[in-house]
A and B are shown apart, each in its own frame.
Chain A
Amino acid sequence: MIKETQRESLLFLLPLFIFVGLIKSYPLIYSILLSFYDIVYKSETLVFQFSGLKNWIYALQDIRMLEALQRTLLFSGLVLSLGFLMSLVLALLFYEGGKLTAWLEVLCIIPWAIPSVANGLLWQWILNTNYGILNTLLIKLNVISTPINWLNDPLMAMLSLSIAQIWKDTPFMTLLILAALHTVPLQLIEASKVDGASYFQRLKNVVLPYIKTSLVVVILLELISTFKIFDLIYVLTHGGPYESTQVLSFYAYKQSFLYLNFGYGSTLCYILAIIIFAFSLIYLKILRG
């Protein structure tokens, strides 16, 4: 019977293999081949010309690529530092709030469910310089005296982008951390209460160490998703102003589908993939180890 189930197991996996092979594995191999070619779009057909490592050498010297990579790191750093801290605090609040805050957890699912494109439109409106509600609120509260140029100022644009992303991602991270908090055994918490530990001592010595792995997983998942960001940038800033929000994935998109440099575009896409694979390997190691 064991032999038989082994054979059937492959049969049940076949549909997945076919689709994944067609949409992921094959294109991934195709893509690395493309990165060794110069490809031009001539009268509706693609003309391939082998160019060896030219695209890869160019990529490593391309100042726009390096800047895009820096911006990706900055964006991830902003979203992670602010977003993660916020979701950790909120998860702790929810945990302490117990049944009282259960209804708030329902709300957390809303920003997550909203398409990134709609999120971009919404924040474009909120952050509008002359008519946006955020500037109005900040002026009424006397925080600022003149409207902030949220989306047209190269310095502010990256922050605006991060705010929109944090709004969408924080509630969901909160739910994940909250779920991890619920796995902490109550006896452990009670014991430290009996020992007379204060709330913050308990947090530092008992709760956080217990959910350490989950926290790292949440951070890694968010890191991966911020490195992949495309939809929000496309709608909210389109990489501008003056390329100030042009992160790696958006630069790869522009090279590929705006300038139609399929060869160099593939190289950039592959660099992105390699970075994300590295993160995934760490994730895998933590999850399994």
Chain B
Amino acid sequence: MKTFKLKINLKNLLILLGLIFFSFFILFPVCWLFLSALLYEKDLMLVSRGISLPIRFTLSNFIEGISGTAGKAFIKSLINSIIISVGSTLLAVPIGSLAAFSITKLMSPRYSNTLFNILLFLQAIPAMSVAIPIFIMIRALGLFDTYLALIICFTGFSSPYIAWMLIGFFEGIPNEIFESALLDGCNIINAYLRIMLPLTLPGLMAVSTWMFIAAWGEFLFSLLLTSSNAIPLTVTISSGIYAFYEEYSKIMAHATLAVLPPILVALLGRKYLIRGIIGGGIKG
């Protein structure tokens, strides 16, 4: 009995140590980001070198970060990011959902298996590999530096993965439900809108969350396809080091404002998100 108890304690102790290390590893960089943004530059340099503890907090980095010329550009790109992320979510999710519905419920299994593989293959194409043609194409179409250019790119890039994630959710709905709706005289579009959409709502939440975060964080196309009007936040903050002459309190204030929206969206959609990605990536 004694050895049994000891074993349990040792095990719990190891778990506890591991988890403390992990929480520190995960949380410390995020907390340091927020803390750095809340300190005066002079104080931050002392705190970071271990000379003093953080005692005076300020919002001045945030206020300076959104005022003046640099602040104006920052707010503009924040709005751009919101428009582009929301826009591509609203476009890519319906497209992916229609495709997933078609593959799971309308097609014969022979075709749908092939399409499933094609979706996976399309998903693997790296952005870098098509960057040059897209750069040339977008310029030729006169879409350079527009929201539409980025929304089209993000939608084309993400809709295969969205469809692929949603397939898992559609597969969870028994075929009988769809078939009986058709027998009752419902046409396919109505059956999709009235029956399938509400039943796959958790899936739609998952892919919307994923898409918003992916679009918000995208960098390569944003960098290549914008120059002033449509610059999103990732591109603006990527030049922060030069813009602020290495004043890290201000750089971190901008970074904080850039990471809060995706973190909030991820936390809100967390329950669906994990299920969605796991449903697509790992089965059994």
Binding site for B on A (CB under 8 A): 1-2, 5-6, 8-13, 15-16, 19-20, 22-28, 30-31, 34, 46, 89-90, 93, 96-97, 101, 104, 106-118, 120-126, 128, 131-133, 136-137, 139-140, 167, 171, 175-176, 179-180, 183, 199, 213-214, 217-218, 221, 224, 227-228, 230-231, 234-235, 249, 252-253, 256-257, 262, 265-266, 269-270, 272-273, 276-277, 279-280, 283-284, 287-288
Q: Is the CB of A179 within 8 A of B241?
A: no
Within 8 Å of chain A (Cβ to Cβ): is B188?
yes
* Interface size bracket, B side: 35 or more
B278 on the A face (CB < 8 A):
yes
Q: Is the CB of B29 within 8 A of A108?
A: no
* Complex CA distance for A224 and B123, rounded to whole angstroms: 11
Whole-angstrom distance between the alpha carbons of A249 and B130 in the complex? 12
B32 within 8 A of A: yes
Interface status of B128 (Cβ within 8 A of chain A): yes
Q: Which one of B58-66, B199-207, B211-219 is at the interface? A: B211-219
Q: Contact: B107 with A118, CB < 8 Å?
A: no
Residues of chain B within 8 A (CB-CB) of A227 are: 126
When C-beta atoms are compared, the residue in chain B nearest to A121 turns out to be B255
- When the two chains form their complex, are residues A228 and B107 in contact, meaning their CB atoms are under 8 A apart? no
Across the interface, do B108 and A24 meet the contact criterion of CB distance under 8 Å? no
**Which residues of chain A are within 8 angstroms of B273 by Cβ–Cβ distance?**
109
Tell me if B15 and A96 are in contact (CB < 8 A): yes
What are 9 sample pairs from A and B whose C-beta atoms fall under 8 A apart?
Answer: A13-B98, A13-B115, A16-B96, A93-B15, A93-B22, A125-B252, A137-B50, A176-B277, A269-B131
**Contact between A140 and B126 (Cβ–Cβ < 8 Å)?**
no
A115/B217 in contact, CB under 8 A:
yes
B227: interface (CB < 8 Å):
no
Whole-angstrom CA separation of A137 from B50 in the bound complex: 8
Q: How far is the CA of A31 from the CA of B36 in the complex (A)?
A: 44
**Shortest distance between the CB of B6 and any CB in chain A (Å):** 14
Contacts of A126 in B (CB 8 A): 29, 32
B18 engages A107 (CB within 8 Å): no
Q: Distance in Å from the Cβ of A193 to the closest Cβ of chain B?
A: 13
- Asked if B69 is at the interface (CB within 8 A of a chain A CB), the reply is no
Q: Is B259 interfacial (CB 8 A cutoff)? A: yes
A24 to B29, CA, bound (A): 36
Among B19, B128, B182, B267, the most chain A Cβ lie within 10 Å of the Cβ of B128
Does B163 count as interface, using CB distance less than 8 angstroms?
Answer: yes
Contact of B131 with A16 in the complex, beta carbons under 8 Å:
no
| Residue ID in chain A nearest B270 by CB atoms | A109
CB interface residues, B 100-134, toward A, < 8 Å: 101-103, 106-108, 111, 115, 117, 120-134
Tell me if B98 and A125 are in contact (CB < 8 A). Answer: no
A269 in contact with B163 (CB, 8 Å): no
**B135 — which chain A residues lie within 8 A by C-beta?**
257
- Contact partner, A19, options B15, B19, B26, B156, Cβ 8 Å: B156
With a CB–CB cut-off of 8 A, which chain A residues contact B282?
Answer: 176, 179-180, 214, 217-218
Contact A16:B99 (CB < 8 A) given known A89-B18, A93-B15, A171-B26: yes
Minimum C-beta distance from A44 to chain B (A): 10
A117 CB to nearest B CB, Å: 4
Q: How far does the Cβ of B10 sit from chain A's closest Cβ, in whole Å?
A: 11
For residue B48, CB closer than 8 A to chain A, the reply is yes
Whole-angstrom distance between the alpha carbons of A132 and B44 in the complex? 10
- A109–B129 contact, CB under 8 A? no
Q: CB distance A117 to B219 under 8 Å? A: yes
- What's the least CB distance linking A124 to chain B, in Å? 7
Contacts of B22 in A (CB 8 A): 90, 93, 104
B173 surroundings in chain A (CB, below 8 A): none
CA distance A171 to B22 in the complex (A): 9
- The reply to whether B132 and A34 contact each other, CB–CB distance below 8 Å, is yes
Residue of A89, A107, A117 with highest tally of chain B CB at under 10 A: A117
6 new A-B pairs (CB below 8 Å) besides A8-B188, A234-B238? Answer: A107-B27, A113-B213, A115-B258, A118-B259, A121-B255, A140-B50
Q: Please give the distance in Å from B61's CB to the nearest CB on chain A.
A: 13
* Complex interface: chain A residues within 8 A of B70 (CB): none
B234 near A: Cβ within 8 Å? yes
CB distance from A267 to the nearest CB of B (A): 10
When distances are taken between beta carbons in the complex, the residues of chain A under 8 Å from B103 are: 9, 13
B134-174 interface with A by 8 A CB criterion = 134-137, 152-153, 155-157, 159-160, 163
In the complex, which residues of chain A have a beta carbon less than 8 angstroms from the beta carbon of B98?
A: 12-13, 15-16
CA gap between A266 and B133 in the complex, in Å: 9
Contact of B126 with A136 in the complex, beta carbons under 8 Å: no
A5 contact set on B, CB distance < 8 A:
106-107, 188
**Which chain B positions have C-beta within 8 A of A171?**
26
Quick check: A19 and B124 within 8 Å, CB to CB? no
Q: Is there an interface contact between A109 and B267, defined as CB atoms closer than 8 Å? A: yes
Contact between A9 and B102, CB atoms less than 8 A apart: yes
Q: Smallest Cβ distance from A19 to chain B, in angstroms?
A: 4
